[in-house]
Amino acid sequence: MPVNKRGGKKHKRNKNYASENSSLRIKEAGQEYAKIVTCKGNCRFDVECSDGKNRAAILCGSMRKRRYVNNGDLVLVSLRDFQDKICDIIDVYNESQAKRLEEDKHLPESFRLGEENPYEDYTDEIHFTNEMPSSEEECGDTNNSSDESSIDLTEI
């Protein structure tokens, strides 16, 4: 049968996904590992590089509309010689590839995955109990006639 060039619902459902055993790209000279901090839109991101610097990263043209990048993803960036604050994203690692990089100790000690907790700063200020109030005074009953007599409308 010929290749379906137009697509369609049934054809897109059977799309071939990349295999899990794809080659793992290791950093070379002029490249760094980075973690996505914020997505700015228009294929631009703020990244925290493994050398400790924050940079603006741009998704390269061959990856646009083909690879999705989210907050917290591990990426490989290519550093620019002429602009230190800007870099280019050349590869995006999925979770299994990021774990394999961590196991093979390609990531530096200061740049580990899975240690951040976004809810670390929040504290629980609500405490739930199963105890029931024993008297009407503890219930906060607002139907008392003594409360109505204590309100003076002229003072308002």
pLDDT > 90 in the chain, percent:
35
**CA 46 remoteness from chain centre:** 12
**What pLDDT band is residue 125 in, cutting at 50, 70 and 90?**
confident
Mean pLDDT of 40-56: 93
In a domain, 10, yes or no: no
In a domain, 77, yes or no: yes
In a domain, 125, yes or no: no
In a domain, 135, yes or no: no
Mean pLDDT of the chain: 80
pLDDT tens-place string over residues 52-111: 899 999 999 888 888 889 998 999 999 999 999 999 999 999 888 988 998 898 888 767
Nearest to 95 by CA among 118, 120, 113: 113
Higher pLDDT, 24 or 4: 24
Lowest model confidence (mean pLDDT) among 33-47, 60-74, 91-105, 122-136: 122-136
What is the domain count for the chain? 1
| Cα gap 37→77, rounded to integer Å | 14
Domain that holds residue 50: 29-103
In a domain, 117, yes or no: no
User: pLDDT at position 59, please?
Assistant: 95
The two most distant CA atoms of the chain are separated, in Å, by: 91
Kindly state the tokens that stand for 110: 């200061």
In a domain, 80, yes or no: yes
Q: What CATH number should be reported for the domain holding residue 58?
A: 2.40.50.140
24 with 100: CB under 8 angstroms?
yes
User: pLDDT at position 146, please?
Assistant: 53
**What pLDDT band is residue 153 in, cutting at 50, 70 and 90?**
confident
Residue 76 in 3-state DSSP?
Answer: strand
